[in-house]
Structure 1
Amino acid sequence: MLDTSEHIVIVGAGAAGLMAARELARAGRKVTILEARERCGGRIHPLPASEFGYPADGGAEFVHGEAPVTRALLREAGLSLQRIDGEQWSFDGANILREDRHDPHVAELQAALRDLKDDLTVADFLRRHFAGDDYAPMRHSIERMVEGYDAADPERASTLALREEWMDGGHSAQARIDGGYGALIGFLAAECRRRGVAIRLGRAVSAIEEASGAIAVRCAGGDVLTCDRVILTVPLPLLREIALPGGARAKAAAAADIGFGNVVKILLRFGRPWWRERRQELAGMTFLLSDQTIPVWWTQNPNQHHVLTGWSGGPGTATLSQLDPQGLIDAGIDSLAAVFKRPREDIAGDLVAAAATNWAHDPFAGGAYSWATPRTREAQTILARADGAVLFSGEALYRGADMGTVEAALASGLGTAGTILRG
């Protein structure tokens, strides 16, 4: 018999919220999702195909590693994955070179990682084991990966949490969804609605109150919903902006021990693939790294869309904090001009469409995604406890290797729903 007596409110219509809602609705629970934005998806942000020539992603774009929950959902939705192959190049300040991923000290690094018993920050690990000048290139490479790929601060990031990533050289398999992450969110939202989930957009939650065994969820616009339980799936910075009952507030304080990084993402569509025309050997280029203001670029390889995506992650995004979207686009053009030694006016003249997001400026995100400190596992345990009417879920609570990803959000939402249903 379906249980229709319990009403569950989910705050946030991102991947975790939608996944939890669908699972609970399947089991007959009454579910309402409150979403501050006027769209579903959260930090998944589809951009118009009419502007970029394909369903581009202004937020999450890649499927990392095995991602079993994501892949199962894609099969259910009839969506396919395209594995990303191609070459990584780098600009050393003078030339664009095919990157040699072999480091002469990799065996020493892996031995030190294998022997590591007690966690410490990445910066402390490098200072303790690889302080000499000979190790400077490896330190730079690791710090760049931690800051750029993980959006983390090496002075706070957990070495043990990143050990698996380092042991495979930081190059786990990546893929893209044909149709972009927006297609997956569209499927999940439609599934929720089909199963009776009420999705209310434009509802920013300001407070959750508990009195006489009932829960009241208050929205900034004045709406109040009563329910039996609440699942908070908002990004970590937003937890500080929602008034919570005492027990939930005490648990939420543990989030301070989970890192949360920022990302600036810039998409530039050009009328022609000028980077391939100038350098035929770049036809297979996927990633291009440099020390420019916008340090990472990638193509849509193997697809031939004339789009370059720029990326800056971690503490380095602070230098971009004063720039509006047009300022970020200009910074991206300047970085490309320096790398390719081409007049910026020529690059700007080829531009057809552009979009830029500093996720720290997004009022409903406050940044991009989470990363682990040495105290994060303990914090996740506290936040995951189902010992009250307010539960926490989302990518920051995922304990696997791919914390911070869409897979982490989907898996966490699924797990939180399971906790409720088993209870």
Structure 2
Amino acid sequence: MSRKSSHIIIVGAGAAGLMAARELARARRRVTILEARDRCGGRIHPLPAAEFGYEAAGGAEFVHGEAPVTRALLADAGLSLEPIEGTQWSFEGGKLSREARHDPHEAELHRALKALKHDLTVAEFLHRYFAGSQYESLRQSITRVVVGYDAADPARASTLALREEWMVDVGRHTQARIVGGYGALIEHLEAECRARDVTIRLGSVVSGIEEADAGVVIHCANGEVHRSDAVVLTVPLPLLKEIALPCAAREKAAAAADIGFGNVIKILLRFERRWWLDRQADLSDLTFLLSDEKIPVWWTQHPAEHVVLTGWFGGPQTASLASLTEPELIRTGLASLAGIFGLSPDDLAQKLVAARAINWAHDPFARGAYSWAKPQTRDAQAMLASADGTAVLFSGEALYRGRDMGTVEAALASGQETARIILRK
């Protein structure tokens, strides 16, 4: 692969694909991105500002933790972060209450996590170390985080992979939003790529890849054929099974079965006014609201005063709503809010200005939301991320081996690392 003449095709114009393309183009490589959608961003999906009063996020919304790659990119783009501030509430047993800041068994949990030498699933870990009735609240808190935050299955999720996350504070994570949303970051990356002569072909659904003449031939569903020296697949894990791959790449892709992939249903409801303050005035700084309703997690845009409540339902339990249409999901969201606040769903519906519901499992170019780790995942990631002489490489949030797997930071960092691997050849 010649440094000056090599041509790299990247499949997918999400965060990982755009980041890899930018890094390669900066090194004066010829880059083409093939994107199945009619837009860039992938699971970053800004909604029209006219609809919600701001560029609401139909997909990724929060910046989690330190996120050094994201923050450096924001600085390049002249974008800023707004920390999440306010009060978290819960609705249990028919009552609204402020969330307790600490679990009384938190120190005991940390000791057990520090002492853990061999990986267990989360369910096994809780059964082995915290089975007693006195730990009921702790088990619920951890399970809620694993299912609702990580979109994972406790019966299969890795405890070691989640250990650092929990050691910070069970169920609470440093979070912020980008002013202007992730869409502004994607616009910056796309503009940088185009300024460096990266070709971005939208509506190009890749159906197969074959090796030929020390390079690759990429076939698209619309009949297009592209040739390059190497190809980087940044598509979500479920889509790897839908692309015909050369034998060696297919064997590597099989390792994806050892990486979890979860779903999320996201419901955005814009109202005429903040009616929830009528029910309880001290909800004025409400951020997150957790409940046992069908749509269990809700949040506001606080400290911004947009009159929007966002509902979130993640993990394997989302399969119970798989058959629902978007209007039915919106009605389910209204019913959940009505149950929390003791109102009529019909009355809430009359206060609606705009509403959207996105079930990411129904998105043909995602088939779910993001990845999570099983006990076997680190080995699978190492296999997928290795270059080992092949012209087909893999990249994306699912391959990130840091703390915040499944985030935009993970996707950006993976794309950056994949570019470095190619540039070292």
Q: Which residue of 2 aligns with 1:400?
A: 402
For residue 104 of structure 1, give the secondary structure of its aligned residue in structure 2.
coil
Q: 1:228 is matched by which residue type in structure 2? A: D
Cα separation, 2, equivalents of 1:232 and 1:411? 15
Q: Which residue of 2 aligns with 1:409?
A: 411
Cα separation, 1, equivalents of 2:247 and 2:3? 29
Cα separation, 2, equivalents of 1:143 and 1:174? 20
Cα separation, 2, equivalents of 1:218 and 1:49? 36
Are 1:282 and 2:289 an aligned pair? no
For residue 284 of structure 2, give the secondary structure of its aligned residue in structure 1.
helix
Q: Which residue of 2 aligns with 1:363?
A: 364
Q: 1:72 is matched by which residue type in structure 2? A: A
Question: Alpha-carbon deviation of 1:222?
Answer: 0.6
Question: Alpha-carbon deviation of 1:361?
Answer: 0.5
Q: Which residue of 2 aligns with 1:419?
A: 421
Q: Which residue of 2 aligns with 1:306?
A: 307
Deviates more, 1:93-102 or 1:251-260: 93-102
Q: Which residue of 2 aligns with 1:55?
A: 55
Q: 2:36 is matched by which residue type in structure 1? A: A
Cα separation, 2, equivalents of 1:74 and 1:261? 27
Cα separation, 1, equivalents of 2:28 and 2:6? 9
Cα separation, 2, equivalents of 1:259 and 1:115? 25
Question: Alpha-carbon deviation of 1:141?
Answer: 1.2
For residue 139 of structure 2, give the secondary structure of its aligned residue in structure 1.
helix
Q: Which residue of 1 aligns with 2:251?
A: 250
Q: 1:26 is matched by which residue type in structure 2? A: R
Cα separation, 2, equivalents of 1:277 and 1:73? 41
User: Is the CA contact 1:248–1:390 (under 8 Å) kept in the aligned structure 2?
Assistant: yes
Are 1:154 and 2:123 an aligned pair? no
Q: Which residue of 2 aligns with 1:7?
A: 7
Q: Which residue of 2 aligns with 1:166?
A: 166
Q: Which residue of 1 aligns with 2:336?
A: 335
Q: Deviations over 1:339-374 (max 9, x none)?
A: 000111111000000111000000000100000000
Are 1:197 and 2:198 an aligned pair? yes
User: Is the CA contact 1:35–1:201 (under 8 Å) kept in the aligned structure 2?
Assistant: yes
Are 1:126 and 2:130 an aligned pair? no
Question: Alpha-carbon deviation of 1:211?
Answer: 2.5
Change (3 A) 1:3 1:212: closer
Cα separation, 2, equivalents of 1:267 and 1:35? 26
Q: 1:89 is matched by which residue type in structure 2? A: W
Cα separation, 1, equivalents of 2:336 and 2:276? 13
Cα separation, 2, equivalents of 1:156 and 1:224? 40
Matches within 5 A, 1:77-226: 77-169=77-169, 170-226=171-227
For residue 217 of structure 1, give the secondary structure of its aligned residue in structure 2.
strand
TM-score of the superposed pair, with normalisation by structure 1: 0.99
Superposed CA RMSD: 0.9
Q: 1:278 is matched by which residue type in structure 2? A: R
Q: Deviations over 1:134-154 (max 9, x none)?
A: 111211111111000000000
Q: Which residue of 1 aligns with 2:274?
A: 273
Question: Alpha-carbon deviation of 1:103?
Answer: 1.4
User: Is the CA contact 1:69–1:407 (under 8 Å) kept in the aligned structure 2?
Assistant: yes
Cα separation, 1, equivalents of 2:50 and 2:103? 43
For residue 230 of structure 1, give the secondary structure of its aligned residue in structure 2.
strand
Q: Deviations over 1:108-134 (max 9, x none)?
A: 111100100001100000010111111
Question: Alpha-carbon deviation of 1:259?
Answer: 0.3
Q: 2:397 is matched by which residue type in structure 1? A: E
Q: Deviations over 1:263-301 (max 9, x none)?
A: 000000001010123311100110000011000000000
For residue 240 of structure 1, give the secondary structure of its aligned residue in structure 2.
helix
Cα separation, 1, equivalents of 2:232 and 2:273? 47
User: Is the CA contact 1:295–1:310 (under 8 Å) kept in the aligned structure 2?
Assistant: yes
User: Is the CA contact 1:53–1:305 (under 8 Å) kept in the aligned structure 2?
Assistant: yes
| Unmatched 5+ stretches in structure 2 | none
For residue 380 of structure 1, give the secondary structure of its aligned residue in structure 2.
helix
| Unmatched 5+ stretches in structure 1 | none
Cα separation, 1, equivalents of 2:380 and 2:60? 25
Question: Alpha-carbon deviation of 1:4?
Answer: 3.4
Cα separation, 2, equivalents of 1:55 and 1:3? 40
Cα separation, 1, equivalents of 2:42 and 2:215? 28
Question: Alpha-carbon deviation of 1:101?
Answer: 2.7
Are 1:386 and 2:392 an aligned pair? no
Percent identity of equivalent pairs: 69
Q: 2:182 is matched by which residue type in structure 1? A: Y
Cα separation, 2, equivalents of 1:399 and 1:288? 30
User: Is the CA contact 1:93–1:339 (under 8 Å) kept in the aligned structure 2?
Assistant: no
Q: 1:147 is matched by which residue type in structure 2? A: V
Cα separation, 2, equivalents of 1:214 and 1:193? 24
Cα separation, 2, equivalents of 1:23 and 1:107? 43
For residue 357 of structure 1, give the secondary structure of its aligned residue in structure 2.
strand
For residue 242 of structure 2, give the secondary structure of its aligned residue in structure 1.
coil
For residue 185 of structure 1, give the secondary structure of its aligned residue in structure 2.
helix
Q: 2:161 is matched by which residue type in structure 1? A: A
Q: Deviations over 1:282-331 (max 9, x none)?
A: 00110000011000000000001000000000011111101111111010
TM-score of the superposed pair, with normalisation by structure 2: 0.98
Cα separation, 2, equivalents of 1:61 and 1:324? 23
Question: Alpha-carbon deviation of 1:102?
Answer: 2.0
Q: Deviations over 1:182-231 (max 9, x none)?
A: 00000100100000000000001000011232310000111000110000
Q: Which residue of 2 aligns with 1:35?
A: 35
